[in-house]
Structures are given as structure tokens and as C-alpha cells.
């Protein structure tokens, strides 16, 4: 008797609505690993009676005549779009922007699965209840003029502002330039809706009445500069922006920061404060505000696809080493547990970490945060189900999407 082959399907989206009993009977075992699986009531009954295992985060049940479309990345739904004649289910992996006047287009969809934020007018938000949305819904007043999510106002804004206009910024409005004339904007009956307002002290009295009462208002000293990114506290930063700073991101204080710490008179960090351990006490004495304090090594390794930590690298780092947001990290066999305890300051947000021995692994486990897989050299991950075994008897399909 001929041995039936097994089937392994690995994909982001798998459509099983066309599966038949004959197809199922043709394999010994079928295993599907997918982020989302599209099925139908009839096929669900078939699958329950066969040797099929499905590992997925999301199951979408559709009738067989419904077409589906996948959009990876930002997308917009506009009123000018043609209403599709056939029923369509949309899978959107990214932010979705829905314009006013899209009611007919939205009602034409069989459904949506949106993995990301949705921005739409308030009148549209009520139509989204039947959709699956894995992210925030940001509804703005109908008729509002949309600005960038983070909008920096300057003198030119008054010259372009429309009479009786309502302006909307999804995240925040930054009003720190001294020549913004809120008095003239008030004369034009301009109003603003946003989640947060950063305004300099001398402008606050004229600015605040123009903003929605739900706006979170932060008053900053005159002369404060806005930095729209992660930053490192060094001479170049202070030369460009000055010593009064609002950092919209993470701020790193490294061993190189020691010569300029006294020049930073005002620091507000809308993110993490990453401080090398030798300067932690000094940083805490400063006028600082931040979301979270993270003590790190003087050598910070991050956002790498692969990192190899050796005894030489660790020994040469006078103020220790920190590793963050790396895909793969390996420890050489010459790295002793004592050296790790002395030099490894923090270790976080890495996918796969491979230690040379149990002693190394014990030290890394004691300090690691958010590590997906921590293994010994030669050890298989807990997620490894042995699919690499018996290759000749297994048919494998690896793709972004797959339809049976």
C-alpha cells in the first residue's frame, strides 16, 4: 500500500474554501500555519472530519462566491471609488484612511479585516462596527481640514488659514515658534481639534481658546525646541537646537554626553530615557521628564539582523554592553558567566538568542526581556515541530498567500 504524503502550508493568508473531500483524502496529514485562514461553513465540516490541523491567529468565514483582496501597507478608501459589482472581503495590513462620502463603498464590502489604525470622519465611524479592526479608530469632525498627524505651526500658517476653518491633527500640534499670531487666527475664527498641544508659555493664553476642550495641553518654556525623532544628547544636538528640548522619541545619554550635560537646562522626553549606567545618578539629578528610564551599557547594539558577542567585545566595553531589537544574537564559547554578569547591562526585544552553554544561558535569562526564543547551541526551538524530518514524505508550500 502506497504511503500518503503529508502537506505543510506556511503562509500569511490561506483560503481553504475550495477544499474537497478528494483532496483531503489524498494526504496523510495536512497542517496549515497562517496568520489568517478564510473558510466557509461547508468546508469547516469537511475539515473537522479529516486529519487537518490549523494554526492561525484569525479565522474568516465567507461564502464561496465572495472574493478577497489583500493590501499590505497604507491604503485609502475614497468617495470616487467605483462600487464593486461582486462581493469583496478586504484584508488590509497597515493604516487605512477613509474619506467622507464613502458610505456606499463601505456598504458594498462583504467585510473587512484591518490590522492597523483607521482614520475617518465621525459620520463614517458608525459604519465600521461590522468590520474586524485590530487597531485604533481615529474619528475626526465632519468638515474638518486634515493636517499632518504631527503638525508644527509657524507664521506662514496664518497666511494660508481659511476663514471659519476647523483644522484636525490626529496626534499633536506644536506651537513653539514665537511669531505664530493666534490673535489673527482668532479673527479668522479658526479652530483646532487634536489630541495634544505643545505651546510656548508666551503664546498659551491666546492659543488655548482656539483648541477643543478635550485637547491635552503642555506648556513649555519660551525658546524650547521640538525634536521629532530619537536623539542622542551630544554637542551636535545642542548646537542645532539649544539647551531647551522637547524630544518626541527616545533620548540616549551616552558616555559622550558627559561634556554637555550641564548645557541642557530643560529636557522633556516623550519616550524612553536611555542612560548609560555610569551617568545614571547624574542624569537623575537633572530637570528631566520621560516615560521610562532604561539603564544601558556604554556600547548599545540595536536594530541588527545578527550580532555575535565575543569575550573581546565585552571586555573592551568599559561601561558595559546593551543589546536591543536584534533578530539573531549568538554568544561565543569564550564568554564566561562572570564576564556576562560584569558587562551585560541589559538585553531586550530580540527574536532568537543562542548561548554556547547552560551557564551563559542562566545569566542571560536573569536579565533578558521580551526574548522570543532563548536556546542552547544545537537546540531546537519550542516552535520547531519536526517539519524538517522525513522530507521525502512531506509536500511543503511556503508563500505570502495560498488558495486551495
pLDDT digits over 23-67, tens only? 888 888 899 988 788 888 888 888 888 888 888 877 888 877 788
As a whole number of angstroms, the distance between CA 175 and CA 211 comes to 12
pLDDT value at position 380?
63
Give me the DSSP letters along 244-294: EEEESS-EEE-GGGGGTGGG--EEEESSEEEEEGGGHHHHHTS-EE-SEEE
Q: 381 pLDDT exceeds 80?
A: no
Q: Which residue has the higher pLDDT, 190 or 108?
A: 190
Q: 389 pLDDT exceeds 70?
A: no
pLDDT value at position 56?
83
Indicate whether 231 and 291 sit together in one domain. yes
Which residue range(s) make up the domain with 236?
A: 225-296
Indicate whether 33 and 89 sit together in one domain. no
Indicate whether 321 and 371 sit together in one domain. yes
Classify residue 184 by its DSSP letter: H
Report which of 88, 94, 91 is spatially closest to residue 75, judged by C-alpha positions: 94
257 phi and psi, to 5 degrees?
A: -80, -10
pLDDT value at position 391?
66
Mean predicted lDDT score pLDDT of the chain: 89
Is residue 385 a part of any domain in this protein? no
pLDDT digits over 131-166, tens only? 889 889 999 999 999 999 999 999 899 899 999 999
How deeply is 7 buried, as exposed, middle or buried, from its count of CB atoms within 10 A (0-12, 13-18, 19+)? buried
Is residue 402 a part of any domain in this protein? no
- Asked which of 267, 296, 325 is the last residue of a domain, the reply is 296
- Asked which of 80, 107, 140 is the last residue of a domain, the reply is 140
How many domains does the chain contain in total? 5
Indicate whether 187 and 152 sit together in one domain. yes
Indicate whether 315 and 363 sit together in one domain. yes
Q: 236 pLDDT exceeds 90?
A: yes
**In terms of DSSP bridges, do strands 394-403 and 118-121 run parallel, antiparallel, or are they unpaired?**
unpaired
How deeply is 322 buried, as exposed, middle or buried, from its count of CB atoms within 10 A (0-12, 13-18, 19+)? buried
Is residue 271 a part of any domain in this protein? yes
Is residue 37 a part of any domain in this protein? yes
pLDDT digits over 356-377, tens only? 999 999 999 999 999 988 998 8
Q: 392 pLDDT exceeds 80?
A: no
Amino acid at each position: 500500500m502506497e504511503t500518503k504524503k503529508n502537506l505543510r502550508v506556511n503562509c500569511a493568508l490561506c483560503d481553504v474554501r475550495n477544499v474537497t473531500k478528494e483532496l483531503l483524502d489524498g494526504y496523510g496529514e495536512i497542517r496549515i500555519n497562517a496568520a489568517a485562514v478564510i473558510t466557509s461553513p461547508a468546508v469547516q465540516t469537511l475539515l473537522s472530519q479529516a486529519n487537518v490541523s490549523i494554526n492561525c491567529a484569525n479565522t474568516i468565514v465567507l461564502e464561496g462566491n465572495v472574493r478577497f483582496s489583500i493590501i499590505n501597507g497604507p491604503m485609502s478608501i475614497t468617495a470616487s471609488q467605483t462600487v464593486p459589482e461582486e462581493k469583496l472581503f478586504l484584508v488590509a495590513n497597515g493604516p487605512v484612511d477613509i474619506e467622507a462620502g464613502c458610505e456606499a463603498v463601505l456598504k458594498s464590502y462583504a467585510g473587512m479585516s484591518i490590522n492597523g489604525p483607521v482614520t475617518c470622519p465621525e459620520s463614517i465611524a458608525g459604519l465600521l462596527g461590522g468590520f474586524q479592526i485590530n487597531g485604533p479608530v481615529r474619528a475626526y469632525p465632519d468638515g474638518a481640514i486634515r493636517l499632518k498627524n504631527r503638525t508644527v505651526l509657524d507664521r506662514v500658517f496664518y497666511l494660508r488659514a481659511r476663514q471659519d476653518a476647523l483644522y484636525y491633527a490626529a496626534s499633536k500640534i506644536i506651537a513653539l515658534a514665537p511669531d505664530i499670531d493666534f490673535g489673527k487666527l482668532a479673527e479668522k475664527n479658526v479652530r483646532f481639534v487634536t489630541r495634544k498641544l505643545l505651546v510656548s508659555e508666551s503664546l498659551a493664553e491666546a492659543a488655548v481658546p482656539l483648541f477643543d476642550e478635550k485637547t491635552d495641553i503642555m506648556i513649555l518654556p519660551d525658546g524650547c525646541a521640538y525634536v521629532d525623532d530619537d536623539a542622542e544628547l551630544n554637542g551636535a544636538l545642542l548646537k542645532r537646537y539649544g539647551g531647551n528640548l522637547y524630544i518626541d522619541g527616545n533620548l540616549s545619554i551616552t558616555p559622550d554626553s558627559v561634556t554637555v550635560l550641564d548645557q541642557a537646562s530643560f529636557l522633556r522626553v516623550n519616550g524612553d530615557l536611555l542612560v548609560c549606567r555610569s551617568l545614571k545618578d547624574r542624569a537623575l539629578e537633572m530637570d528631566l521628564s520621560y516615560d521610562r528610564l532604561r539603564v544601558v551599557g556604554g556600547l548599545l547594539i540595536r536594530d541588527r539582523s545578527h550580532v555575535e558577542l565575543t569575550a573581546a567585545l565585552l571586555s573592551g566595553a568599559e561601561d558595559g554592553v546593551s543589546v536591543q531589537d536584534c533578530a539573531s544574537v549568538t554568544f561565543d564559547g569564550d564568554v564566561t558567566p562572570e564576564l556576562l554578569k560584569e558587562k551585560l547591562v541589559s538585553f531586550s526585544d530580540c527574536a532568537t538568542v543562542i548561548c554556547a552553554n547552560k551557564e551563559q544561558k542562566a545569566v542571560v535569562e536573569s536579565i533578558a526581556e521580551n526574548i522570543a526564543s532563548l536556546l542552547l547551541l544545537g537546540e531546537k526551538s519550542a516552535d520547531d515541530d519536526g517539519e524538517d524530518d522525513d522530507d521525502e514524505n512531506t509536500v511543503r508550500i511556503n508563500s505570502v498567500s495560498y488558495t486551495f
